[in-house]
Structure 1
Amino acid sequence: MTTPVGLTSSATAAAVRAGISRLRESPIQDKQFKSIRAGFLEEAHLPPLSEKLRIASSLMPARKQRMLRLATQALKEASLGSAAAPLFLALPESTGQQEDSAGASILEQLAVQADVALHLPQSRVFQQGRAGGLLAVESACQALRSGRCRTALVGGVDTYLDLRLLADLDLEGRLLVDGAFDGLIPGEGAAFLLLGVPGATRHENRVPLAHLLGVGLGREEGHLYSEVPYRGEGLAQAFHHLFASVPADIPKTRCVYAGLNGENFWAKEWGVAYLRHRQRFEEPLRVEHPVEFTGDLGAALSTTMLGLAAVGLYKGYREGPILVWSSSDREDRAAALVVGARRG
């Protein structure tokens, strides 16, 4: 992981567990000429763009360049010592109103930037924002189940450090600025996971941190930018598909890593999904929302939360099963369930 609170997975997990926040006033101003609070990394903490990409960088959007730099160390950390594996990568949502910072080219550029061998023919990008990381996990699991690969990298990277993006969010009233009681604090980061079939990395002396039980997907017709009434059905649908895919006799969920980002909009669907499946949750239920320390991580949020859950299970300060859920600004909703890894 590379986040505002830590440059590695262990540092990020420790900071979030301790409640350390790195949200600060940025040099960027809102429409009222007041500083925007954000979770942006200092330049000194990011590696430079690779010399091999410098020529292409003149045609590369600044946001894409920053995402490549954010992803560098996190991808290296996840793939260290592993054979070339496909990468299933979550990226910011495609709006069609601005140049996408995605496409197959970012996979090739990321392999160069991080100096990591990837199996590009099987790799994919998911331009679905916050929920994209869990969509990528589901796609990777399909590849593992089918035997197309024995290990797969899944990641997400995003940044709100883009003046046009921040201006649009400010005009929409979505930023938590002075005088606002509802809004998001922009952040940035990258998080990557190495998934594998049982025993896949034994020869690499890799120790599994957690066991992924399943993923459930849903679609919300009444999403943030839709004219259809918002009923919160999409996340409840994702929970339904998730719980239908896992053994019925597993213990009740003890902890939830929630994709709440500071906007009240998402509380309704979490409430609907929880009430419809309350029999699957232990009481009292522990609810974690890391965004309060990092800012909204966008497309990096799902994989960050899944990684935090895995580290917590492995180190013993979180009890499973743990449910991780996330919602995109548009239709996509997703949830996943993890437990402690089997030993031996």
Structure 2
Amino acid sequence: MTPALFITSMGMACPVGLCVASACAAKRAGLSALQELPFFDNACEPIIGATVSSLDLALPAASRMSGLMLHALVELIQGAPKLDWTEVPFLLCLAEPERPGIDIRGIAQTVIHDASSKLGIQFHPTHSRVIPSGQVAGMHALHEASRLMQETRAPACVVAGVDSLLSALTLQWLDQHRRLKTATHNDGLFPGEGAAAILIQAYRQPGTCLEISGLGFGQEEAPLLSNKPLRAGGLTDAARTALAQARLGLHEIDLRLSDVTGEQYGFKELPLMEARLFRTVRKEDQPLWHWAEAMGDTGAIAGIVQLILADQAFRKGYAPGTTAICLSSALAGARAAAVVRDLSRPQGPL
């Protein structure tokens, strides 16, 4: 059982905005940063994706991702309560090391060095760590943050992530596996990039709007590249656990957020999970929100940006209700879910 967690500050830098407010406003307005990139697929056609235009694509990958991460951290620190940052663990979410074009060690070292040298911020020296789990990294980091705050009495944890699919090796690998969306192949994704960070605390602070009231994890036996029949067992297990911790049924969830990227696999997995968990008919609409239509697949920040979007929707009153579920699926089969509640509006009876 994971105790309730609270988001007390956040920051974000992505193709549709260099801060939380602008990015979520762009998403709400239906804006998209998808465009032709200076990369070509194996058919010599321009690849469509989304890039943060303020950072030169010619920069080394580690330097570029560190620049994205610093944008998000500056915003988070400016909005955070007063803290001794040396007591705060920094949990850095990155892509899986198996993905071509990713240098986990190089990115982590550059981010930590730049946070210290450029921002003057030093995080906890022994409890900080890298979580290279791809799309589910943010949810795993929340679980680790809960553990650290219980066992070490840390006042807070920074859950941060940065990722970019805009490297030649990554794009080539995606194209080889027919995972890029092109003019002749609709069952694919648009590559994107971005950075996001949230400050997690065990107690509600003034102005806190979002409570994470349930976390769940699972393992899918038929991941995307396995060619096995999909039953969505992993996502079902993750969602069932998160809902049980929050003491809610799926029919009581007002909003779904997902890291679906445009590939048919993800859109098949969601209804399979829902068919196994719905036990009561829900007459009200239960919309599905995802960032991919605005900025493509952003990899390791997928879970974090879902939480940020839910917070902003609750805070500004455009969410369809007071409860939401965030769903993440990694390529190798790991699944994760988080149930969140709006603290700014009265809750109905549980």
How far has the Cα of 1:230 moved from its partner? 3.5
Conserved? CA contact 1:91–1:128, under 8 Å: yes
1:62 to 60, 63, 87: 60
| Structure 2 letter corresponding to 1:277 | L
* Residues 1:314 and 2:315 are matched in the alignment: yes
Conserved? CA contact 2:243–2:250, under 8 Å: no
Q: Decide whether aligned partners of structure 1 residues 86 and 290 sit closer, same or farther in structure 2, where only a CA change above 3 A counts.
A: same
Q: Deviations over 1:118-141 (max 9, x none)?
A: 113111211111111111112112
Percent of aligned positions with the same letter in both sequences?
31
Q: SS state of the match for residue 293, structure 1?
A: helix
| Structure 2 letter corresponding to 1:25 | E
Tell me the TM-score normalized by structure 2. Answer: 0.85
Q: In the aligned structure 2, how far is the partner of 1:312 from the partner of 1:165? A: 33
* 1:180-195 correspondence runs (5 A): 180-195=185-200
* 1:293-304 correspondence runs (5 A): 293-304=294-305
Q: In the aligned structure 1, how far is the partner of 2:179 from the partner of 2:250? A: 39
Tell me the TM-score normalized by structure 1. Answer: 0.87
Conserved? CA contact 1:220–1:234, under 8 Å: yes
Q: SS state of the match for residue 120, structure 1?
A: coil
* Residues 1:153 and 2:158 are matched in the alignment: yes
Q: Decide whether aligned partners of structure 1 residues 165 and 98 sit closer, same or farther in structure 2, where only a CA change above 3 A counts.
A: closer
How far has the Cα of 1:227 moved from its partner? 6.3
Conserved? CA contact 1:216–1:238, under 8 Å: yes
- Determine the structure 2 residue equivalent to 1:57: none
Runs of 4+ in 1 over 4 A off after TM superposition: 96-99, 248-251
How far has the Cα of 1:331 moved from its partner? 2.2
Q: In the aligned structure 2, how far is the partner of 1:70 from the partner of 1:248? A: 36
* 1:1-344 correspondence runs (5 A): 1-42=12-53, 45-46=54-55, 62-80=60-78, 81=80, 82-83=82-83, 84=85, 85-95=88-98, 100-102=103-105, 105-106=109-110, 108-112=112-116, 113-146=118-151, 148-199=153-204, 202=205, 207-226=207-226, 229-248=229-248, 252-279=252-279, 282=282, 283-318=284-319, 319-341=321-343
Q: In the aligned structure 2, how far is the partner of 1:281 from the partner of 1:67? A: 44
Q: Decide whether aligned partners of structure 1 residues 28 and 248 sit closer, same or farther in structure 2, where only a CA change above 3 A counts.
A: closer
Conserved? CA contact 2:41–2:175, under 8 Å: yes
Q: In the aligned structure 2, how far is the partner of 1:280 from the partner of 1:100? A: 46
Conserved? CA contact 2:66–2:111, under 8 Å: no
Q: In the aligned structure 1, how far is the partner of 2:306 from the partner of 2:105? A: 22
When structure 1 is superposed on structure 2, of 245-254 and 229-238 the one drifting more is 245-254
How far has the Cα of 1:35 moved from its partner? 0.6
Conserved? CA contact 2:249–2:278, under 8 Å: no
Q: Deviations over 1:23-51 (max 9, x none)?
A: 01111111111111110111xx2499xxx
| CA RMSD, 1 decimal | 2.5
How far has the Cα of 1:279 moved from its partner? 3.5
